[in-house]
Structure 1
């Protein structure tokens, strides 16, 4: 009996060597919106990770040593590209595993800060976003469901290559994601239709893709470089612009409202509100991307409806 048992153990061990247990593909994304898309693709198979914590800016995040290790060790890494996460290129030079620069994917519908941006046509310097120079790529590309579909399809292809066992599941997840996005687009269009002609301002020109998809358009951008305190003349010009428009909303992004906001709007029929284009606190579930987009529509329409 002991001899048979020993043979059984030896055979079992050899089978384990020949057929190792399936290991989940580790996916890391730079920002939450990419994690939300990956969560839809990996639904039922794995859970993607995200690099930046809620509230962190993708423009100037300071990586910790543990962040650098994660970037270099995960199986698949997705980031928007140097036009958004300027802190990442140096770290990615030391990575040997696959890196996907999303802004370079074929079939994306990309926008640039130039003639297609009303705020850059304005003569008033108060209506220029100092973070985005004319002609540069608008890297907030995830705020278009058309682009989200392209990104999801690429993720499914990559995951299927790394994990052929679950290839059919990834393909099915993308199909379901596409169907949910169709329904989400219809809901958001209906939600914002009643406020499409109302003026609103933003502190950061980050929502052009969203606006274009749902027939909205900001009236102006009140943006000042973070390290520069605006002078009295600049603030007066912005207040004049607001007073000319009348009742309106000015949207900042969480977690911090610009110090300028209260001074800018004091005594005017203006409401301050937030739009979270990064979905900072959205749960990374299969429906997370749609929830982020619908929240944007609800928050924008809610403020404008309350005027």
Structure 2
């Protein structure tokens, strides 16, 4: 009986230790990275529900309470979650804006020949010179973020520090395999033209030799004027067989208008991984799904 009592006491103390180090991330991709680091110790929470936009999310009172009370908080930064800085002013515990971590490889939006077709209707800032905050789509950056998370968790929960560091090492090895797998997967479609409705994939594209031919940037549920639609259709018609990618959960109503009668295939790319479970391998699944979506559509042309 004494051994059983000791075992129960140890299990209860482990549960208490895990409960003391609560991790909250703003968006699913950060949750997927945290889940890899916390494997076997805890389960990170995420603030935004599936399908919510990090650019203009409206916090509920319960969300505000969670943000202000959770032990460890990770968000991309003010270039992504513009709704968070005001709420974080009331937080006494530290929070990490990962866009500020040293060692990241960061990109900034630039003027190019592939300018936005409807630049006056952005729902967030993609002006030249501003930070491209979709930084999680580069495996190198995921590694840097995981290293910070492992360090923070090890300091907050020394009893499990060895497990966090082992999880970090395993995640790093998986990222090496992921990088090699993605390079091989997309090699056959490099140079094929495609269009997107949201300029969210530049990190992924730059890493794996891809380049969108144009961005049909529109405000959600806003139908642009006939002149803009005609200009977009001309771009598509001149390109020939191509793919146009939107992001879930909603396909812009404009997609069908643009593609009607043209050799254009409509498909989805999910930069946030809304349907992916926060568990080991989740981050890799996110990037594998992007590669599969791109390659699957472009190879079918």
Same fold, TM-score > 0.5, yes or no = yes
Aligned partner of residue 38 in structure 1, secondary structure = helix
The 8 Å contact of residues 247 and 269 in structure 1, kept in 2 or not, is answered as yes
* Deviations 1:194-214 (CA, angstroms, capped at 9, x unpaired): 111110000000000000111
**What is the TM-score with the length of structure 2 in the denominator?**
0.91
Q: CA deviation at 1:238?
A: 0.5
Check the 8 A contact 2:246/2:269 in 1, yes or no.
Answer: yes
TM-score calculated relative to the size of structure 1: 0.90
Alignment partner of 1:108 is 2:99: no
Indicate whether 1:122 and 2:116 are aligned: no
Structure 1 residues 123 and 247, CA gap change in structure 2 (3 angstroms) = closer
Alpha-carbon distance in 1 for matches of 2:18, 2:115: 56
**Which residue does the alignment assign to 1:153?**
147
User: Residue 22 of structure 1 aligns with which residue?
Assistant: 17
Query: Residue 53 in 1 paired to residue 44 in 2?
Result: no
Structure 2 contact 114–213 (Cα < 8 Å) conserved: no
- Could you say if the C-alpha distance between residues 125 and 145 of structure 1 is closer, same or farther in structure 2, counting changes exceeding 3 Å? closer
3-state SS of 1:251 partner: strand
Matched, 1:254 2:225: no
Q: CA RMSD in A?
A: 1.9
Match of 2:31 among 35, 40, 52: 35
Query: Is 2:223–2:253's contact at 8 Å kept on the other side of the alignment?
Result: no
Counterparts of 1:87-236 in structure 2, within 5 Å, are: 87-114=83-110, 120-122=111-113, 126=117, 130=122, 131=124, 132-226=126-220, 228-236=222-230
Q: From the superposition, tell whether residues 149 and 125 of structure 1 become closer, same or farther in structure 2 (CA, over 3 Å).
A: closer
Are the aligned partners of 2:116 and 2:214 in contact in 1 as well (CA < 8 Å)?
no
Q: Structure 1's 88 and 124: CA in aligned 2 closer, same or farther, altered over 3 A?
A: closer
Runs of at least 4 residues off by over 6 Å = none
CA radius of gyration, larger in: 1
Q: What is the total number of aligned residue pairs between the two structures?
A: 287
Whether the 8 Å contact between 1:127 and 1:220 is mirrored in structure 2 is: no
Gaps of 5+ in 2: 1-5
8 Å Cα contact 2:195/2:213 also seen in 1 = yes
Q: In the aligned structure 2, how far is the partner of 1:257 from the partner of 1:289?
A: 24
Cα distance in 2 for partners of 1:125, 1:91 equals 32
Describe the shift of the 1:125–1:201 C-alpha distance in structure 2 as closer, same or farther (beyond 3 A). closer
Alignment of 1:63-102 (within 5 A): 63-102=59-98
C-alpha change, 1:123 and 1:276, in structure 2 (3 Å) is: closer
Distance 1:124 1:113 in 2: 10
C-alpha deviation, 1:226, in angstroms: 3.2
* CA–CA separation in structure 2 for the residues paired with 1:211 and 1:222: 17
The change in CA–CA distance for 1:297 and 1:123 in structure 2 (over 3 A counts) is: closer
Rounded to whole Å, the distance in 2 between the matches of 1:293 and 1:270 is 24
Could you tell me which of 294, 298, 301 is aligned with 2:295? 301
2:286 corresponding residue in structure 1? 292
Alpha-carbon shift at residue 259 of structure 1 (Å): 1.1
Q: Does 1:270 align with 2:261?
A: no
Determine the structure 2 residue equivalent to 1:7: none
Q: Once the two structures are superposed, what CA deviation does each residue of 1:8-50 show, in whole Å capped at 9, x if it has no partner?
A: xxxx9xx99xx99534310000000000000000001100000
Shift, 1:144, TM fit? 0.3
**Is this contact kept in 1: 2:118–2:218, CA < 8 A?**
no
